[in-house]
Amino acid sequence: MTIIFTMSIILLMIPTAMMLICLTISKKSFMDREKSSPFECGFDPKSSPRIPFSLHFFLIAVIFLIFDVEITLLIPLILVMKISNMINYWIISIFFIIILLLGLYHEWNQGALNWTY
């Protein structure tokens, strides 16, 4: 028991010491306005350096990723069908597909799938 305790203390102390060393080494000594400003031939920038991003496009991309991951979770159901009880298989697969359809209906009902400007 003491071996496990000492090993866990050592395993916690090594990363902590490494993080503290990195924090002390990487600190900048001062912040200068000239160094922190964007470089544009010595003049102040005329426009914002960031391009405006459509939040609606981002939300649709996140919804796509969520449903893409859920489809990858459906693929193993095909392989499990051979080794599982058919009643349990159909109950689980129908339950999972109903959850997916309810999520899709909720997003559709909230208007997240409508592309508006």
Rounded to the nearest angstrom, the gap between the alpha carbon of residue 44 and the centroid of all alpha carbons in its chain is 35
How does pLDDT run across 32-85, given as a tens digit for each residue? 666 666 665 666 666 666 677 777 788 888 888 888 888 888 888 888 888 888
Distance CA 52, CA 18 (A): 39
The pLDDT, as a whole number, for residue 67 is 81
According to the model, what pLDDT value does residue 16 have?
94
- The pTM (predicted TM-score) of the whole model is 0.47
The C-alpha torsion from 91 through 95 and 101 to 102, rounded to 10°, is: 150
Mean pLDDT confidence for 95-107: 88
* Residue whose token pair is 């990195």: 22
Average pLDDT, the chain: 80
* Pair of tokens at residue 72: 């990858």
- Calpha distance 78→69 (Å, rounded): 16
At 113, the amino acid letter reads: L
Give the Cα separation of 68 and 6 in Å (integer): 44
